[in-house]
Structure 1
Amino acid sequence: MRPELYIQQSLEGLRAQTASHNSTWHLGDADNWAADQETGRITFTFADGTIAEANMQIVGTYNTDNGTFLWGWDHPSVAEPLRKHAALAKQFGEENGLAQYTERMVECTEEQAWEFTAVAARLGEANGAYRGPAGTALVFMTFGEVKLSKP
């Protein structure tokens, strides 16, 4: 399969997953989110007290100041166990001659960062992806099966 087609299909798949999460547990409406690298979990907190939790991987961070994406597979702030999906994307880049997937830091748009994340999510068989703001950076993550609870 051509890499461009794989990337496009990955984006479409992620859009469908995101729409499903938005309609079932309101992913886009969370009041708060937190990523815990020690536990490898992402948590979403909602106004009604509902908590959504899932295992996560960090694909990379997008710097909104200079338009660069720093891959999670070689990111000084990403714990080793949380680099797996990013490493799968790097391997995809190596197999298909895509420099943007194999260079540690690349200049790109936020839309391209979503493409990287969609590919990583598909390769890692993730349940979805999330982009969380952290100062001037956006953290792009994949997540697994979501567990909902109410305290």
Structure 2
Amino acid sequence: MDADLFIQQAIEGLRVQTAAHSSTWNLGDEDTWSAEQDSGRIEFSFADGTIAETDMQIIGTYNTNDGTFLWGWDHPYIQEPLRAHAKLARQFGEQHKLSNFTERIVECAESEAWEFTAVAARLANANGAYCGPSGTALVYMTFGEIELHKS
């Protein structure tokens, strides 16, 4: 398959997934979020006491100070089990000779970081993706099936 077409389809697919999550369990309206690498889980907390939890993978981090994306497949702060989806994106980049997917650190816009995440999500058949702030960084993650409960 043509790499550019795959990337565009991945972006559109993630847009549709995100809209569905927003309308069904209010993704994007969470009060707080937290990710725990030891358990490989991400949790979203909402004002009404609802908690949404799911497995996660970390695709990479975007440094808002210098406009660089550090891939999760070789990130010093990401535990090995949480790198699998990022590694799929690297393999895609190797197959299609796309340096933005194979260089450890990439200068890019935030929109490109979303593209990288969308490709990883599609390759992994993830249920969705999320970008959460952590200081001056943005953490890009994919996630699995959502479990909802009240706190």
Q: What TM-score, normalized by structure 2, do the two folds share?
A: 0.99
Q: What TM-score, normalized by structure 1, do the two folds share?
A: 0.99
State the SS of the aligned residue for 2:28: helix
Q: Which runs of 5+ in 1 are unaligned?
A: none
Alignment partner, residue 69 of structure 2: 69
Shift, 1:2, TM fit? 0.9
Q: Distance in 1 between matches of 2:18 and 2:102?
A: 26
Alignment partner, residue 149 of structure 1: 149
Q: After TM superposition, list the pairs within 5 Å mapping 1:53-92 onto structure 2.
A: 53-92=53-92
Q: After TM superposition, list the pairs within 5 Å mapping 1:1-150 onto structure 2.
A: 1-150=1-150
Give the root-mean-square deviation of aligned CA atoms. 0.4
Q: Distance in 1 between matches of 2:124 and 2:57?
A: 9
Q: Deviations over 1:58-108 (max 9, x none)?
A: 000000000000000000010000000000000000000000000000100
Shift, 1:32, TM fit? 0.2
Letter in 2 for 1:83: R
Letter in 2 for 1:116: F
**Runs of 4+ in structure 1 over 4 Å off:** none
Q: Which runs of 5+ in 2 are unaligned?
A: none
